[in-house]
Structure formats: structure tokens, C-alpha cells
Structure 1
Amino acid sequence: MGHWRNLFTADPGRTRHRVEVERRRLLPAYAADESDASDASKEIAKVALRLKYQIEQVVSCEVEENALTNPNSRIITDDVVETAKQAGGDDYKACVVYCLLVCLRWFKIQSSVELWDSDLHEVRAVACEVIAKRIIESEQNQDYVMRDILLKRYSIFSEGVETDPANVIERAVDLHALRIISSAPYQKCIQYLWKGWICQEEGNPTNFVEYSEKSNTGYWVHFHPDRMRTPLYQNVCQILFSLIYLAVYTAVINTVNPSGDVDVVEAILYGMTLAFICDEAIKFWKVGWNYLEFWNAFNSTLYTILTVSLVLRFIALAHSSSTHDEQRRLYNELSYNFLAFAGPMFWMRMMLYLDSFRFFGAMFVVLRVMMKESLIFFALLFVVLAGFFQAFVGMAQVDADIPLHRNILQGMVNSIMQSPEFDTFQDFAFPFGIILYYVFNFIVMTVLLNILIALYNSAYEDISGNATDEYMAIFAQKTMQFVRAPDENVFIPPFNLVEIVFLIAPFEWWLPREAYARLNELVMGVIYSPLLIVAAWVETRQAHRIRWNRRHGEEDDDSAQEWEHVAKEVNFDLDDTWKEHVVESTPDIKVDSCTYELRELKEQVRMLTETVKLLTQEITEKKVDGAS
């Protein structure tokens, strides 16, 4: 669309086999001084190399992952974290977390290349995450964390060229660094981006700036088309338009036109489909093959079916109702059959926009991993099906009276669905056909299906225990899809047709840039006015809350809970007795019982040693006095 920048990439792989995708960068680079940027990237690369060397020394052999992630880890100690902080010195200390993510990617690449040390490199990658998370959470200045550590973009000098800039928020999502994503400062930053409290700078999308009017209580200040860049509002729009799309489809499928004419509701349905197709095509053209993922393929399949339905409808309309009535009816019925065939996909498509809700997001993580695991099953199933199908076809050709491909294929598919048809294969080169069919059922129903169940069970156990962190990763990825490289003029489908027909085609090619931008703002203000009315009201209420929090010295996003209201009447600093009892009875959870006992034993040995020294000194003095 007009002035589209590079769009977000598809979600990179989670496993070591897809780490090579991380070598690609799709973000534009903006630098005021190329020589200064090059020098900075070289220094940042040195910081990454220092950290890589440190982690290789700290994790010098394979250890259990728990030994690194444990809060009381004897490997990732406070001294190790403090040393990592010093890797960048005073000038580049803010890029240490980014460099740890660079090291994380390096170790994952090594893990996929050096298979003999794969586990060691995986553990070192975990160490990078743990250290990065502890650095982020230990920093007291939250503004510094969000501005310089999380959102500021850095580059490294690699293979004689400077990589495109990226920040910690983006790289953590790309590398699926769950421990960093689940940290409190990271999630706070994501929430600020989601609400539009932090947005990309006008004219330079590589820089993130604070929304200057977030504490302004004026209503009309927030009634501005630029607020449609906020991920929250874009997500609401997508959900609303998807519900309308589903309602229009429901109306079409329940009002069949026997004459084959295209009515108004069908025209709306196919018009919205055209808008979605244009949106997908533009994104694919901008990004390329890296844009393709499961949901893109799913949507493309749905749009293809609807396009076939529309083409068949036009073919039916091309036939006269008087001379070719039968063909017109045939193509019309076929068109509606394709339209009805897409019904389940219309409803499943809604799941794409509901993953911002926690319940759906956690379930989608499990489903996505299950679908990925099922690829192993389908690969094995294809090989088994091909072999047995060829055998059955060969047996059927011996007897010309036995039907071929269709019955054979249907019987084999029914076996996969656990409804075998033994009668179909009874006469296939008896007894070879029926024996082979028994073998086929045993392999499919007993072996392969149980393998699929085991894979699903393993995937569910792996994800369900970590579902919250996985949901936060999905939410972060969804947020970055909106803010990573947004369109200057946000026209959400089907409004992108308005942009194409009424703005780009007649005005963009000759109208000055500033005038064209004002025209876009005017059009966006009109078409998004219902949503902007509600959004401005919500932001006005948020502004009052922000001002109240600032007057009381709280964070902008702070929201007082029930216990906080009650706590205003209690001051534990004045209640010395209760505070003293708590201090005396509070255990040191940073030290396990064995270490605690050893410390006590060490203290007793120290006291005993001092006592023995004193006794020895006294005895020596007495001997000296007696001798004199």
C-alpha cells in the first residue's frame, strides 16, 4: 500500500533446525553517520565476543538446565552477572543484553552445526537467557531499561558488513527467548507498546518514543487518526471486521439464489474477500517467502476456495437461463457447494484474532505445537500409504472385475479413520490381498496412530507446564507484528480497497507528500471515527489515572488493588514488635538447608579455632612466666 515499509517477518523456528532463518534481517537501517555507526557496531561485536568467551568459561561442560535456572545457582552467580554487566564498559553497557541475545543465536547455530556438542551449546544458550533476564530485572531505572536496553536498536559488524539494526524486544521474539520475554520489565514494555504509550517516531520508525499526550485529559487530543497505529485498536478492528465477514458469509450461505444472480450480500462477501487477498498479496510481495506461515496458508486456502466459487458463479451467469438452463443450474450449484465447503474455515479463521486473549492464546500454543509434531506422523503415513496403495493396485489389475483406485483409496483412508473395510479387499489376489490389508491396518491403527498419540501427549506436557510463558511470547509476537514496521497510513482490510481505489490510484502519483498525508488523515478520520470516539474516551480516562498515579509517586500503569487500599491504614515501620518477629522467623530462601548447616558448622569451627589459639597463647605465656 502507500508508503509501506518492510513488514514483519514470519515467526522464526523454535528449534535448532530453523536457526539459520535468524541470519536474515528485514528491517531497514537508518544511520546519520555511516563511519560512526560502523565503529559502534564493531565495538558492540567485541562486547558480544567478550560475553561469548565468558559463557564458554563459566559453562565449560554439560550440566543440567536446572543448575543454571535455579535462583540459587552456583554457576550463574551474582559475580558472573556483574562481570557480564562490565563487558560493555561505561559506553556500551546498555547493549549487553542485546549482545547476550547475539551470543544466544551463535550458540544455537553451533548447536545445529556441531552435533557432537549440541547439548553443551544448548545449555550455553540457556545461560545467555538467564544472565540477560537477571540483568534486566536487577536494573532499578525502568525508563533506562525500556529506552536504552529493550527498545534501542543495535548492530554488530559481521563478515565485513554491518547487520541491520534490531532491539532486544524484536530479537527475543525472533529467538523465542522465553525467559527474557517473561521478565517483568519486558512485559511492561510490551504492554506500553500494545496500548500505544510507546510508539515509533514519525519519519524514523527505528526509534521508539513516548506518546507525549498520554497524560493529556483533553478529549479531542486523542481523537486523531494516528492513534490507529496502536496495536490494541488495530486488533479490535480486525476482530470486528472478521465478525462482520463471518456474519455476511452466514447470510449468504443461508439465502441461496436459485436464479444464480449475485445479490448485495454476496457482493459484500466477495468484495471483502478481494480486500483480504490484496492485503495478503502486498505483504507477500514486500516480505517474500519468509512471510509464509500456517495462518497465511490457511487464509490463502480460504480465499482460493471463495475465488473458485465466484468464478463458477460468473460462468453460470454467462449461460442464458432459456437456452442453457441445465448448465446454468449445474455451475450455480457447484458454486454454492464450494462456498459451503469453506464454512468450517470461516469459523476457524476467528482463532487467528483471538490469541490476544489468554485462554485462547495458551490453547493455540498447544495446538500449534501438536500440528508441528504431527508432521512426523504424516511423513511416515505417506510412505506407508504409497507402498500399500501400489501393492493393492497391482493385485487389483490381475482381476479386471475388481474396481481400482477409488475403492482402494477409500478403504485405506477408512482404515486411518479406524473404520476398516475388509470386504473390499477380500477378493484381491486371495489370500494375499486380505493378508496385506490386515498388515496395513496393524501398522496404521496400532503403530502409527499410537505414535501420533505419544507425540501429542509429549507436546502437551512440554507446553502445558509452560503455557503462561508461551502465551506471553505469542502476545509479544503479535504486538511486534503491528509496531515492527507499520504502514504510514493504517487501512485495515476491507478499508484498504478505499486506499487503493480512492487515494493511491488518483492522488499518490502526483500529489505532494505533505498534502497526500493530510488527505490520508482526513479519510482515516472519517472511516475510523466510530472507533476513534471510543478510543479517545478510553484514553481520556487513562490520562486521569496516569495523572493521579504521578501525583502519588506511582508508575503510570499502576492500578491500586484491594489490599493496597487496606494497607493505607497500616504502617509496619512503626510496628516494631511485629516487624522484629517477622525478621527473626523469616528463613533465608537463597540458601538451601545443607549450605545453611555448613555455614553454621564453619562459624563454630572458626570460634573453636579462636578459642584454641587463645588457650595456646595463655599456656605459652604461663610457661614463659614460670621459666622467668
Structure 2
Amino acid sequence: MVHWLRFLSWDHFRSSGNRVRNRLNDEIENLLPRRATPIPPAIPAIEVTKVAQRLKYLIEETIPVELEESRITRPHSAVVTKKVIQLAKEAGGEEHKACVVFCLLVCKKWFQRHALLELWDAGLHDVQATACEVIAKALIESEDDLDYLFQEVLLKRYSIICGQEETHPSNAVERAVDLHALRIISSSGYQKCVSYLWRGWLIQSEADPTVFIPYENKVDTNYWTHFNPNRMRAPVYQNWVQMSMSILFLALYTVAINSINPKGDLDVIEGLLYIFTLGFICDELSKIWKAGRYYIGFWNIFNVTLYSLLTVSFVMRMVALGHPPSGDPDLKRYKFNQLSYNFLAFSAPMFWIRLLLFLDTFRFFGAMLVVLKVMMKESLIFFALLVVVAVGFLQAFVGMDNIDETKTATKFILQAMANAVMQSPDFSGFENFAPPFGITLYYFFTFVIMVCK
């Protein structure tokens, strides 16, 4: 830590008494708040673990044998009765009742793990895991105090003892997403909590980021009251800013691709486009650096591909600028400039597809993206199976072509098979190819493709 009095050689002012000492203490004090030790959880991890064990015992006694899942999930179930739900609610007592929903999610994870390790009782453990979700959903929807439900039940972070060590603190909202507990996620209280977080009506405390507090001005109808830089922490405004930047990024690209510079000069629009690209690249790298490999997904790979094409376009433009504009016998400046624009134009579909990343916050686009994701997954499975089938037919056609020890029709075979896959078969080319086996095999290949589709 720099001592400014020493740095400026003002040590002789130390003799002036307490005023100088107080000034020195102010200078060496941290400007930003810092916690030397983490704030302990509201409920000790050992107590949370005890509550989870009580709930596990309760569910095992309630469902000792394998049952049909419908008997657990139906309304007014004869297995998960109101008395069972009340016993689960009282498992933490009056002091630790807020962690019951979190402990039910812990029990769900335990049962799911038992289902993987004990395959002979996998059906029983799956039903017990489902019962954890049903009870947790009933407890969430029966809570009338929303402030208590949001701040203590769903958003308060708890830890358990695992292997004589405390686990990383997490809350019920995070656990439900990690465990894909759709019944809990679809409950009204959970959805309302997520909606409050999304709109910024529940914000993180400045003293402790693990604590969420209500936004005090959420009912104020004055616009300027909400026009606060701190409100940028609300996900809804972050999403709008990201969408605005993406639309501006697309607008810059549209202007750049429609205003060609034949001389290879870099105008202001293209300069801004490449500056935006650099900013997006730094943003992706910082997130990967902080979150690690778990952050990498489909959209990250998609964005990296887009940014790579733009980077190549920029490099080609810089190479073009390195050649003189005139007196070049090989026209290298023109060739590299044309290559740069080709890379820029090639990335146009990816610019528009990139908007889908931000449109999924709207219900219609979100549902369509889920459908599209399933369709793409099934298409990949189909093409993976198709490759195995096509290799067999390809080997047969190449074998027929290789009978005279000269492979002269390989290109024709590949093109004909590709046309059949694209539902545009050409049978006329196989009339003179190893008759009658060639045309018969090609008919059979086309029939297999039609059946598969």
C-alpha cells in the first residue's frame, strides 16, 4: 500500500499530532469494502444436514416400495397426504423451517444418485425423488408470505456436510435448475420469484451479495425514480442493453457490407464494426476465464466462429492496406480487399442467427427455439445413422467401378449419392454403370433414403 506522505517526502508533518496520523490512516484504508472472512450461513451446515436426513427418513417410510408415479403426482394423493406434507414442513422445527425446500432438493439428488448406484431399486428411488419434488412444490405454493418465501426459502443460501466438509453454499432456485426439477420450477411461487429477480424487484444487498432484499421504489410510478445506474444490475435491463448492442452491431455490419470500398480504405463504419468485434471477443474470453470450460456451449462456439470470420476479414483488409494502391502489377491490394469482403459477406447469416440468442427471452421465440433445438438434435442423429448406411453403398459403387482396376467414376458416384440425399436423384447416369447391378443398387439406396426421412 502506498503511503502518500512518504511518497511526497512530507514526513516532517508527522510531528503535527493526531491530525496527520488520522490522515495517514485514511490513506492506507481500503477504498473498496473487503471481507477478510466469508459471512457464515444463517443456519449451520450441520443443522441443514440433520433436516435433510429427517426428510430422507420420512420419504423412505412413506414410500417403502415401488409405486406408480401417477399415485404420487395426482392431486389429493393417498400416498403424499396433507399429514406427510405437514410432517415435512415441521422437519426443521420453528428455527430451521426455511431450509426445508432446499433439503428436499438435496434428498432428491441423493435418491437420484441411489438410482444410479442401486439399479435393482432404481424404480423405487426414482419415485422417492419425485415425491421430494411434489412435497417441495406443495410447500412453496402453500406459503402466503411472499417476502419470507423469496428471501428465506428460495434465495437464502445453505450448505450441507459432505465428506466432513461443507459444500459450496447454494439456494433452492439454483438447485432446482441444476436438478432439472420441473415441478418445482413450474410452481407459482418459484415463477413469481424468478419474475421479481428478472425485473429487479429483488436485488442483491450491497453489504452481502448472497442476500436479496426488495427494491424499495418498485411501486413508484415516477419514471426518473427508476432511472438509476444501479438498476443496470436488473437482468431485464441487461438483456435490453445486450439486444441494443447486438442490433447496433448488425446495423454496422449491414452498412459496411453495402458500402464497398474498392480502393481498400477502412472507413469509420468498418472501424466501428471491428472495434465492436474486439469488444465481444474480450467479453467471451473474460467469461471463459472466470467460469472455465463449463461456460462453453453451443452459442459460445457459434459466436467464436462468427468473430473468427470477422477477424480473418480484418486481417485480410490490413494485408491489403500493406500494398500500394497503384502501380501493383499483380493487383494484390485488390485481391486481398476482395477476399476480405468475401469473408465479411460469408458471415451474414450468422449475424442474423445471433439475434436468436437474445430473442429467447420472449415466450414465442423461446418455445420455437426449444422445438428447433429438438429438431436439430434429431437431424444430427439421422445424419449420423445415414453416414453408416451411405458408407456401405459407397463401398459397393466403388467396388463396381474398380472391377477393371481403374477408378474413373468416383466423382460421379459421390455426386449421385449426394443428389439422392437431397431428394434429387439422377437415375439416367446409372444406365451404363455395371448393368444391371448399378441401377438396381441406386434404386435401393434412394428407397432407403426416402424411408429414413
Q: Give 1:313's aligned residue.
A: 317
**Alpha-carbon separation, structure 1, partners of 2:437 and 2:186:** 59
Q: Which moved more, 1:326-335 or 1:157-166?
A: 326-335
**Alpha-carbon separation, structure 2, partners of 1:48 and 1:62:** 22
Alignment of 1:134-213 (within 5 A): 134-213=138-217
Q: What code does the residue aligned with 2:445 have? A: F
Q: Give 1:601's aligned residue.
A: none
Q: Give 2:270's aligned residue.
A: 266
Q: Say which of 350, 360, 363 aligns to 2:365.
A: 360
**Alpha-carbon separation, structure 2, partners of 1:266 and 1:97:** 53
Q: What code does the residue aligned with 1:32 have? A: I
Alignment of 1:41-60 (within 5 A): 41-60=45-64
**Alpha-carbon separation, structure 2, partners of 1:205 and 1:410:** 61
Stretches of structure 1 that go unaligned for 5 or more consecutive residues are: 1-28, 450-628
SS at match of 2:77: coil
Structure 2 CA distance for partners of 1:385 and 1:79, relative to 1, 3 Å: same
Structure 2 CA distance for partners of 1:227 and 1:67, relative to 1, 3 Å: same
Q: Give 1:233's aligned residue.
A: 237
**Alpha-carbon separation, structure 2, partners of 1:58 and 1:154:** 26
Q: Which moved more, 1:235-244 or 1:82-91?
A: 82-91
Q: Say which of 331, 338, 341 aligns to 1:333.
A: 338
Cα deviation for residue 326 of structure 1 reads 3.8
SS at match of 1:319: coil
Cα deviation for residue 375 of structure 1 reads 3.6
Q: Say which of 68, 87, 94 aligns to 1:90.
A: 94
Q: What code does the residue aligned with 2:145 have? A: N
TM-score (structure 2 length as normaliser): 0.83
- Aligned-residue CA RMSD in angstroms? 2.8
The answer to whether the 8 A contact 1:319-1:325 is kept is no
Matched, 1:381 2:378: no
Q: Give 1:21's aligned residue.
A: none
Question: What percentage of aligned pairs have identical amino acids?
Answer: 56
SS at match of 1:356: coil
Q: What code does the residue aligned with 2:275 have? A: G
Q: Which moved more, 1:167-176 or 1:40-49?
A: 40-49
Q: Say which of 36, 39, 46 aligns to 1:32.
A: 39
**Alpha-carbon separation, structure 2, partners of 1:245 and 1:177:** 37
The answer to whether the 8 A contact 1:392-1:428 is kept is no
Structure 2 CA distance for partners of 1:124 and 1:407, relative to 1, 3 Å: farther
Structure 2 CA distance for partners of 1:87 and 1:387, relative to 1, 3 Å: farther
Q: Give 1:402's aligned residue.
A: 408
Alignment of 1:527-538 (within 5 A): none
Stretches of structure 2 that go unaligned for 5 or more consecutive residues are: 1-35
Q: Say which of 56, 64, 68 aligns to 1:64.
A: 68
Q: Give 2:449's aligned residue.
A: 444
SS at match of 2:203: strand
Cα deviation digits, residues 535-555 of structure 1 (max 9, x gap): xxxxxxxxxxxxxxxxxxxxx
Q: Give 1:521's aligned residue.
A: none
**Alpha-carbon separation, structure 2, partners of 1:31 and 1:295:** 34
**Alpha-carbon separation, structure 1, partners of 2:281 and 2:57:** 49
SS at match of 2:236: helix
Q: Give 1:292's aligned residue.
A: 296
**Alpha-carbon separation, structure 1, partners of 2:376 and 2:174:** 25
**Alpha-carbon separation, structure 2, partners of 1:262 and 1:88:** 67
Structure 2 CA distance for partners of 1:324 and 1:88, relative to 1, 3 Å: farther
Structure 2 CA distance for partners of 1:101 and 1:374, relative to 1, 3 Å: farther
SS at match of 1:441: helix
Alignment of 1:242-281 (within 5 A): 242-281=246-285
The answer to whether the 8 A contact 2:398-2:407 is kept is no
**Alpha-carbon separation, structure 2, partners of 1:115 and 1:160:** 27
Cα deviation for residue 399 of structure 1 reads 5.9
Cα deviation digits, residues 425-483 of structure 1 (max 9, x gap): 55555555444433333333312x2xxxxxxxxxxxxxxxxxxxxxxxxxxxxxxxxxx
Cα deviation for residue 266 of structure 1 reads 1.5
Whose RCO is larger (CA < 8 A, sep 6+)?
1
**Alpha-carbon separation, structure 2, partners of 1:271 and 1:395:** 56
